[in-house]
Amino acid sequence: MKTKELTNTIKALFAGEKGLLAMDESIATCNKRFEEAGIPQTIEYRRAYREMIVTAPNLGKVISGAILFDETIHQFTKDGVLFIDMLKKQGIVPGIKVDEGTTDLAGFPGEKITMGLDGLKERLAEYYNLGARFAKWRAVISISPVLPSRGCIEANMHALARYAALCQEAGIVPIVEPEVLMDGPHDLKKCFDVTTRVQHVLFDQLFAQKVNLNWVILKPNMVLPGLSNPKPASIDKVAEATVTCLLQSVPAAVPGVAFLSGGQSAKDATAHLNAMHVKFKGKLPWALTFSFARAIQQPALEIWKGKDENIAAAQKMLVHRASLDNAARRGEYKPAMEEDMNA
Ligand code: 13P
C-alpha cells in the first residue's frame, strides 16, 4: 500500500483553511446547469467552462483539491495544457469522480443504488497514472414518510466501502459521499435521524471491508429541514445539529469532513460552515471543510454565460466565493464580505 502517498495527499487536501472544489458534474448534470443558464450544451462549451475554472488566477490560494469528471480529466486548455496539469501548476491536487451514477434499486421503489464497481480496479489504475490522487463516490438516500429502507442504506454503504478499499489499494484517497437528499417536507430532526443512521452503517461497512480510516474523507450533507418544509431552521440550529450528528457517528481517526452543498444557496452553505467553526472551535477531532459544487460555481456560471468577455469576471467570482468559504473555516465569515470582492 502506498501509505506515504496517501498520507501526503490527506495533508495537502486539508492544508491551512483551503477546501475542495467539486467540478465533476456528469455530462447530463452539467448540461442541465447550462440549460438553466441559457448556455449551449455541447462538449466544447463544457470544455470552455472547465478551462475558465482551472485557469482562474489564484484558485490555488483558496482551493486545495479539485474533483474532475472522466470527460474533463482528458481535456486540454485551448493552449494545449491538460486540465490536470493546469491544476497541478496551481498547487491543486487533482481528484476524479469514479462512480457511474445511480439507477433504480431493484425491489425498492423510489430508491437508488450507485453503479461503478465493475472494472473499478482497472479504472483507478488508469486515473492514478493520469495523476489523480483522490476520488469520489456518491450514494444518494431519499427521505419520505416510508424511506429510506434498510436494504437501500446497506446496499449503498457496502458499495461505498468496496470502492474505498479499492481506492486505498491504488494509492488514491477515497472521498465517501453518502448524500441524504434535501427533497421533501421533512423536518430537521428527521434529517438528523436519517443522516446519523446512514453514517453508522457506512462506518460499520468501512470497518468490515478493512478500510483504513486515516485515509478516508467523509463528504456528508449538512443536517437541514427538507426543501419543501415551510419552517426554516436558523443558521445556528443547522450548525449545531450537523456537528452533533457527526460527533455521534464519525470516528476520530477520520482526518477530515468536507461538506457538499446539496442545493443550499452559496451564502447559506458558507454561513452554516462558519457557524460550525464559531460554535465548535477547538472541540472537533477532524478537520471540517467544504467540497462544494453549486455553492462555489453557481454565481460564477451565471456571470460566465458561455461568453469569452465574461471569463475574467466569472473567475474573480469563483475565487471570491471560495475565499469566503476559507473565511468560514476560520469562523471569520461575515455576510458583509459578500460584497467585498477583495475580501
Ligand atoms: P453540491 O455542492 O452542488 O451539492 O455538489 C457536491 C457534490 O459533489 C455532489 O456529488
Ligand 1 contacts CB of residue 190 (under 6 A)? no
CATH number for the domain formed by residue range(s) 3-339: 3.20.20.70
Is the pLDDT confidence value at 156 over 80?
yes
Is the pLDDT confidence value at 341 over 90?
no
For residue 295, give the ligand 1 atom closest to its CA.
2
Report whether 38 contacts 305 (CB < 8 A).
yes
- 114-139, pLDDT tens digit by residue? 999 999 999 999 999 999 999 999 99
- The pLDDT score that the predictor gives to residue 113 is 99
Ligand 1 contacts CB of residue 138 (under 6 A)? yes
**Cα 24 to middle of ligand 1, angstroms:** 9
Rounded to whole angstroms, the Cα distance separating 311 from 49 reads: 9
**CA proximity to 284, closest of 324, 323, 322, 244:** 244
**Cα 35 to middle of ligand 1, angstroms:** 18
Residue 227 one-letter amino acid:
L
**CA proximity to 135, closest of 113, 167, 103, 159:** 167
- DSSP for 244-273 reads HHHHHHS-TT--EEEE--TT--HHHHHHHH
Active centre residues (catalytic): 177, 219
For residue 297, give the ligand 1 atom closest to its CA.
3
Share of the chain above pLDDT 70, in %: 99
Rounded to whole angstroms, the Cα distance separating 225 from 205 reads: 27
Is the pLDDT confidence value at 343 over 80?
no
Ligand 1 contacts CB of residue 292 (under 6 A)? yes
Residue indicated by cell numbers 452503517:
201
Is the pLDDT confidence value at 191 over 90?
yes
**CA proximity to 296, closest of 15, 23, 14, 17:** 23
Q: Where are the domains of the chain?
A: 3-339
Minimal-distance CA residue to ligand 1 atom 5: 293
β-bridge mates for residue 67, sequence order? 22, 95
Rounded to whole angstroms, the Cα distance separating 268 from 274 reads: 10
Ligand 1 contacts CB of residue 221 (under 6 A)? no
Rounded to whole angstroms, the Cα distance separating 135 from 219 reads: 11
Strands 112-114 and 102-104: antiparallel
Best residue among 98, 292, 321, 325 to mutate for probing ligand 1, ranked by most atoms within 8 Å of CB: 292
